[in-house]
Amino acid sequence: MSTGLAGRSELDRLLASVLHRGTWLGGSVIALGLALPMAGWSGASSTMIGTRIVTAGIALLIVLPVLRVFLMLVVFVGWQLIKPGHSIFDK
Amino acid sequence: MVGAVHAGSVAWLLVVSIGSSALGGALGMASGIFIVPVLTLFGGLEIHAAVAASIVSVIACSCGSAAPFLRSGLTNIRVAIVLEVATTLGALTGVLLAGILSTPFLYFLFAAVLLVSASQMMARRHEVLGETEETNLRDWATLLRLHSCYPDHALGRDVFYRVRRVPLGLALMYGAGLISALLGIGSGVLKIPAMDTALRLPIKVSSATSNFMIGATAAASGVAYFARGDIDPVIAGPVALGSVLGAVLGARLLMAVSGDKLRLLFVVVLVALAAQMLLSALGIHLTGHTA
């Protein structure tokens, strides 16, 4: 059992990091938005703020795969400019 | 409005999405095919709201499971990129052909494809992983450097695998994109049999790679749904949160369970889905929509 993170390509590690952080950020924002009106705060404003926070969290999650594709493109193009002939997939 | 929703409803949506996402994530087809029937049949949700929530769930499931799969080396990004090209071309063709073929015929076709896939996947059940073959330096997979390896926790060793028959895999992926666009369904359920049967990838690699690919496809629909204001945060919020948690569980499940058990579970889902498609072909819709 030797092949862990160290054995993967730079792109694998970069994407794993971005997707991990992005997913938990989006999930945390949604959790905050859901918890706000349930935390005992009364009034329509806390409900409205909670809904907006949940919507922001959902938007974050939806943007994440788009960001992933964009990141792959940027890294690929950037890598070709810096090290022509080498691959971002190389370990 | 979030406050208008009973805490019990939020808890129910969380539990449903955790379960759907864990199962869908482990099988590599995301949560869509499980969550839409549950939300409509047991939650009493309108189909449009359920589909919108399921798209967010699929994205959350794909992104949530992508990190552990990438870290563990299960996702083959090169294969994903190559296959995405064929799936996208198939989907574009499907959009152009929409309306030419009758929907009942397509449901029959889809059911037949699922049943054939199920039988072929069962036939590969006892294949030994990591068998090495003579390298053909001129085949597509070698030229595109698609061969790789992953650490299998269930087997306790690294499994090296060779990717085979790339042209056939591309053709099947083109078909998966075509059928999914014509029927408006997720193509994950067709991607895994294509990777399994044509490319001869280990089932865990197929599942992880399919999960990785699904997120980008779902995001295209997700952006459109979000821009139109069709995503209800009251429903999609708890579903998304539950899907993130479920994806983590699904990733752990996939890494811990043996390939044979995973394959068997996948075949059961394929057969169930084929039965649903046959009923749809006969005009009997269980959920009002196929997800």
Is there a contact between B7 and A38 if contact means CB atoms under 8 Å apart?
A: yes
**Is B39 in contact with B53 (CB distance < 8 Å)?**
yes
Q: Which of A30, A38, A46, A67 to mutate to test the interface with B (most CBs of B within 10 A)?
A: A30
Q: What are phi and psi of B161, to 5 degrees?
A: -135, 150
Task: Confirm whether A73 is domain-assigned.
Answer: yes
What SS3 state is found at B152?
strand
> What distance in Å separates residue B271's CA from the closest CA in chain A?
30
Res A26 pLDDT > 90 = yes
Task: Confirm whether A52 is domain-assigned.
Answer: yes
Res A5 pLDDT > 50 = no
User: Angle A71-A73-A79 (CA atoms, 0-180°, nearest 5)?
Assistant: 95
Q: Long-range contact list for B159-164, CB < 8 A, 24+ apart? A: B159/B129, B159/B130, B159/B202, B160/B130, B160/B132, B161/B129, B161/B130, B161/B200, B161/B201, B161/B202, B161/B205, B162/B132, B162/B133, B162/B135, B162/B200, B163/B76, B163/B79, B163/B199, B163/B200, B163/B201, B164/B139, B164/B198, B164/B199, B164/B200
pLDDT computed for residue A24 by the predictor: 94
Nearest chain B Cα to A70, which residue? Answer: B216
**Is B177 in contact with B188 (CB distance < 8 Å)?**
no
Q: Which of B1, B5, B17, B63 to mutate to test the interface with A (most CBs of A within 10 A)?
A: B63
Q: What are phi and psi of B190, to 5 degrees?
A: -95, -25
Res A85 pLDDT > 70 = no
- What does the block give as tokens for A34? 């859901």
pLDDT computed for residue B139 by the predictor: 82
- What does the block give as tokens for A43? 């009034």
Task: Confirm whether A28 is domain-assigned.
Answer: yes
Nearest chain B Cα to A4, which residue? Answer: B72
Res A61 pLDDT > 90 = yes
**pLDDT tens track for B5-33:** 577 788 999 999 999 899 888 888 777 77
Distance (Å, whole) CA B62 – CA A19: 9
Query: Smallest Cα–Cα separation from B58: which of B211, B258, B272?
Result: B211
DSSP secondary structure letter of residue A7: G
Compute CA distances B137 → A4, A91, B133, B149, whole Å.
28, 20, 12, 18
Residue A87 with chain B: CB contacts under 8 Å: 145
Is there a contact between A51 and B149 if contact means CB atoms under 8 Å apart?
A: no
Q: Which of A1, A34, A66 sits opposite B238 (nearest CB)?
A: A34
Query: Which of B19-23, B225-229, B242-246, B275-279 shows the highest mean pLDDT?
Result: B242-246
Res A4 pLDDT > 50 = no
pLDDT computed for residue B3 by the predictor: 45
Distance (Å, whole) CA B288 – CA B253: 31
Say what the ipTM of the complex is.
0.83
> What distance in Å separates residue B150's CA from the closest CA in chain A?
7
Distance (Å, whole) CA B183 – CA B189: 13
Provide the domain limits for residue A78: 24-82
Mean pLDDT score across all residues of chain B: 82
Task: Confirm whether A2 is domain-assigned.
Answer: no
Distance (Å, whole) CA A52 – CA A42: 16
pLDDT bucket at B176, cuts 50 / 70 / 90:
confident
DSSP string, B164-229: --HHHHHHHHHHHHHHHHHHT--SHHHHHHHHHHTS---HHHHHHHHHHHHHHHHHHHHHHHHHTT
- What does the block give as tokens for B8? 């019990």
Q: Which of A9, A37, A58 sits opposite B236 (nearest CB)?
A: A58
Radius of gyration of chain A (CA): 19
Is there a contact between A12 and B244 if contact means CB atoms under 8 Å apart?
A: no
Other C-beta atoms within 10 Å of B227: how many? Answer: 10
Residue B64 with chain A: CB contacts under 8 Å: 23, 27
**pLDDT tens track for B233-247:** 999 999 999 999 999
Is there a contact between B216 and A68 if contact means CB atoms under 8 Å apart?
A: yes
Distance (Å, whole) CA B140 – CA B82: 11
- Domain residue spans of chain B: 2-281
Query: Smallest Cα–Cα separation from A11: which of A57, A68, A63, A67?
Result: A68
pLDDT bucket at B1, cuts 50 / 70 / 90:
very low
Chain B contacts in chain A segment 5-34 (CB below 8 A): 5, 7-9, 11-13, 15-17, 19-20, 22-24, 26-27, 30-31, 33-34
Is there a contact between A15 and B66 if contact means CB atoms under 8 Å apart?
A: yes
Task: Confirm whether A32 is domain-assigned.
Answer: yes
Q: Which sign does the torsion angle of CA A70, A71, A73, A77 carry?
A: positive
pLDDT computed for residue B33 by the predictor: 77
Task: Confirm whether A13 is domain-assigned.
Answer: no
Pick B1 or B250 by higher pLDDT.
B250
**pLDDT tens track for B24-68:** 888 887 777 788 888 887 888 887 888 889 889 999 999 999 889
Nearest chain A Cα to B234, which residue? Answer: A51
Task: Confirm whether A67 is domain-assigned.
Answer: yes
- Scored b (16 or more CB within 10 A) or e, A46-73 reads bbebbbebbbebbbbbbbbbbebeeebe
pLDDT, average across residues A7-24: 85
Nearest chain B Cα to A6, which residue? Answer: B71
pLDDT bucket at A6, cuts 50 / 70 / 90:
very low
**Is B239 in contact with B35 (CB distance < 8 Å)?**
yes
The size of the A-B interface in CB pairs under 8 A is: 148
**Is B28 in contact with B207 (CB distance < 8 Å)?**
yes
**pLDDT tens track for B117-149:** 788 778 766 665 555 555 566 788 888 888 888
Pick B4 or A67 by higher pLDDT.
A67
Residue A70 with chain B: CB contacts under 8 Å: none
pLDDT computed for residue A3 by the predictor: 42
Res A88 pLDDT > 60 = no
Is there a contact between B240 and A58 if contact means CB atoms under 8 Å apart?
A: yes
Task: Confirm whether A5 is domain-assigned.
Answer: no
Distance (Å, whole) CA B87 – CA B74: 21
**pLDDT tens track for B78-115:** 899 889 888 888 888 887 876 777 778 877 887 887 88
Res B258 pLDDT > 60 = yes
